């Protein structure tokens, strides 16, 4: 069987049918400077053995996260994942299953998604949660669109502490819909006056806690201001473990809570796939994107599970759909649920305490360089040098020191700031190594 079965005439016929002259016309929406001009710089052909060796040499240039002291965070965190998680998700009935369109033969999938929703609702202190989104960033953008549907307004205000990549996804979807987005400037010290930006035209305010710089924020004053003006508060998090220790967003008045669930049950995996968490209040359930698994009984009165709400494009008319997300991160959601079940409430709280304690130990070692007044397991350090260059120098010495802010916010004039995370995987020796390496490098 050929890998490329279409003949030139086949391709010409398809292009003619959709009304374009050439394949490049399908990519007119992509910025020209993001398109590759010509062929990728790779050999034209290799045998399987040659390709395997070449790729192995390329992979050997990486520094695996588990091989050196590791303090990288900023939205993706290295935590210990129990061996039981990977063992269970690799069972064939989980690993090969897909969308539970037929509930009578998909009870296992529906049940774990139901349990997943229950855990997310409990973690966030919200009333309902859906059966997962692609990841935290797309969940954030979907929350903005949901707020527009509820308030019938079209302006979102994004906090300067929101992860820049989350903000970019929200702006991209909003631009396609013709919605307005006001993005506040970078807020390293969590001193922005976001309440002053809320008016009667505001649909929603998007605030992250802990924010991208590590600051823990009190959402209650913002929630009260939103209520006074008829806007919704969208609370975002990137570090799910923080919910084991901090006041959950729902208890602070959030209307929609979205975040990234990678920290629980899922490895770094070179940046994905991850799993988005999405929860809201019951009164907004009809506007919630994605789908909702519910519990019921069958004709014999036995417990069973069904898709209670499915408002995705492939289920209903596009103009009636609340989301264009076409799948749920099922295997990642299952990994999240298994790990959460193994931890339990007490285990999650203890894990969160260990993370916070480890971050405090590291902050004490780094002293006045730490800029944050309050944090969970991540904070921002002023290094009095180019942080990106410093990270490269330390990586060459076997220490992955963190994420330079300039990588997330190029051109913002924050080149001397470094975001550092310390989770349960870091030992006292790891922290001492980082502190010594930073001091020596500076």
Task: Render pLDDT for 15-45 as a digit per residue (tens, 0 to 9).
Answer: 999 999 998 899 988 998 988 888 888 888 8
Give the pLDDT of residue 1.
47
Q: Give the Cα separation of 46 and 61 in Å (integer).
A: 20
Nearest to 190, CA basis, from 420, 379, 368: 379
Give the pLDDT of residue 88.
96
Q: Which residues of the chain have pLDDT under 70?
A: 1-3, 311-319, 324-328
3-state secondary structure of 109: helix
Q: How many CA atoms lie within 13 A of 119 on its CB side?
A: 28
Q: Which residue matches tokens 């037929």?
A: 102
The answer to whether 73 touches 239, Cβ cutoff 8 Å, is yes
* Helix (H) or strand (E) run with residue 9 in it: helix 8-18
Q: Calculate helix-pair angle for 330-366, 428-441, nearest 10 degrees.
A: 60
Query: Structure pTM?
Result: 0.91
Which CATH number applies to 83-339?
Answer: 3.40.640.10
Give the pLDDT of residue 56.
95
Structure tokens at 124: 């966030």
Q: Give the Cα separation of 237 and 209 in Å (integer).
A: 6
Q: Cβ–Cβ contacts within 10 Å for residue 97, how many?
A: 16
Q: Quick one: CATH architecture of 344-441? A: Alpha-Beta Complex (3.90)
The answer to whether 68 touches 398, Cβ cutoff 8 Å, is yes
Give the pLDDT of residue 155.
98
Q: Where are the domains of the chain?
A: 83-339, 344-441
Q: Give the Cα separation of 433 and 365 in Å (integer).
A: 11
* Helix (H) or strand (E) run with residue 208 in it: strand 202-208
Let me know how long the chain is.
442
């Amino acid at each position: 069987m050929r890998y490329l079965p279409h003949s030139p005439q086949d391709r010409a016929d398809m292009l003619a049918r959709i009304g374009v002259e050439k394949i490049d016309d399908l990519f007119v929406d992509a910025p020209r400077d993001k398109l590759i001009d010509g062929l990728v710089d790779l050999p034209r052909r290799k045998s399987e053995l040659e390709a395997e060796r070449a790729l192995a040499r390329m992979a050997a240039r990486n520094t695996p996260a588990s091989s050196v002291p590791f303090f990288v965070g900023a939205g993706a965190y290295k935590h210990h994942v129990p061996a039981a998680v990977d063992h269970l998700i690799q069972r064939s009935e989980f690993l090969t299953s897909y969308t539970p369109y037929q509930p009578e033969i998909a009870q296992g999938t529906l049940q774990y998604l139901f349990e997943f929703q229950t855990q997310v609702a409990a973690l966030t202190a919200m009333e309902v949660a859906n059966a997962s989104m692609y990841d935290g960033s797309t969940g954030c953008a979907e929350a903005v669109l949901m707020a527009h549907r509820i308030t019938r307004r079209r302006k979102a205000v994004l906090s300067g502490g929101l992860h820049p990549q989350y903000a970019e996804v929200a702006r991209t979807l909003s631009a396609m819909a013709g919605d307005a987005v006001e993005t506040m400037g970078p807020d390293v010290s969590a001193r922005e006056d976001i309440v002053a930006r809320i008016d009667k035209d505001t649909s929603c305010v998007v605030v992250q806690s802990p924010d991208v710089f590590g600051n823990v924020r009190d959402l209650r004053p913002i929630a009260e201001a939103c209520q006074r003006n008829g806007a919704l508060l969208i609370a975002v998090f990137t570090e799910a473990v923080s919910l084991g220790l901090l006041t959950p967003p729902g208890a602070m008045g959030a209307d929609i809570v979205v975040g990234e669930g990678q920290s629980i049950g899922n490895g770094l995996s070179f940046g994905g796939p991850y799993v988005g968490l999405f929860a809201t209040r019951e009164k907004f359930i009809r506007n919630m994107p994605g789908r909702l698994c519910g519990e019921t009984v069958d004709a014999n009165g036995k417990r069973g599970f069904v898709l209670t709400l499915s408002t995705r494009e492939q289920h209903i008319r596009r103009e009636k759909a609340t989301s264009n997300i076409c799948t749920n991160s099922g295997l990642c959601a299952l990994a999240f649920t298994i790990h959460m079940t193994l931890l339990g409430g007490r285990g999650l709280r203890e894990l969160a305490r260990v993370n916070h304690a480890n971050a405090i130990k590291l902050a004490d070692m780094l002293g006045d360089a730490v800029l944050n007044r309050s944090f969970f397991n991540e904070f921002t350090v002023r290094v009095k040098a180019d942080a990106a260059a410093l990270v490269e120098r330390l990586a060459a010495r076997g220490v992955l020191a963190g994420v330079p802010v300039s990588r997330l916010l190029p051109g913002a004039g924050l080149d001397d700031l470094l975001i550092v995370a310390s989770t349960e995987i870091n030992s006292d020796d790891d922290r001492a190594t980082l502190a010594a390496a930073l001091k020596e490098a500076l």
